[in-house]
Homo-oligomer: A and B are copies of this chain.
Amino acid sequence: MIAPGSTHASMAELNRSRIIQLLHRDGICSRAHIARVLGLTPAAITKITAQLIDMGVVSETGNLDGIKKRRSIGLQLNESKYRVIGVKFARTLVRLGVFDLGGNMESEQLLPPVSGGRIRETLDDVKRRIDDILASDDSIVAIGIAVPGPYLRDEGRIAVVTSMIEWKDVNFIDEFVGAFRVPAFIEQDARAGALAQSLFDSDSDPRSLGYYLVGEGVGLGLIDNGELVNGNLGAATEIGHVSIDIHGKPCECGNVGCLENYCSAVALHQAIVTGDLIDDAQSMTHIDACAALFELARGGDETALGLVRDFARYIGYGCVTIINAYNPAQIVLGDIMAQAGSILLDEVQTVVERHALPALRDTTAITISDLPVDATLSGAAAVAAAQFLEHPTEFVGQPND
Q: Which A positions have Cβ atoms within 8 angstroms of B?
A: 2-7, 10-11, 14-15, 18, 38-41, 150, 152, 159-160, 205, 207-208, 224-225, 227, 229-239, 241-247, 253-257, 317, 320-321, 324-329, 354-360, 363-364
Contact = CB atoms under 8 A, between A and B. Distances in A.
Contacts of A326: 229, 231, 236-237
Contact of A327 (B3, B6, B224, B233): B233
A259 to B, nearest CB: 10
A346 to B, nearest CB: 19
Contacts of A18: 3, 6
B357 A324 contact: no
Contact of A324 (B5, B234, B241, B356): B241
13 contacts: A159-B358, A205-B232, A224-B224, A224-B236, A232-B363, A233-B359, A235-B357, A237-B327, A243-B355, A244-B245, A245-B245, A254-B354, A254-B355
Contacts of A356: 254-255
Given A246-B244, A254-B355, A357-B159, A238 B325 contact: yes
Given A38-B2, A229-B229, A359-B152, A243 B244 contact: yes
Given A3-B18, A5-B14, A159 B235 contact: no
B229 A224 contact: yes
A327 B238 contact: yes
A15 B3 CA distance: 10
A-B pairs, 8 with minimum CB distance: A5-B5, A231-B327, A2-B39, A159-B359, A232-B329, A236-B327, A208-B232, A255-B355
A326 B10 CA distance: 30
Contacts of A254: 354-358
B39 A360 contact: no
Given A5-B6, A357-B160, A231 B242 contact: no
Contacts of A328: 231-232
A164 to B, nearest CB: 17
Contacts of A255: 320, 324, 355-357
A327 B235 contact: yes
A41 to B, nearest CB: 7
Contacts of A229: 224-225, 229, 326
B360 A159 contact: yes
Contact of A39 (B6, B40, B237): B6
Contacts of A159: 357-360
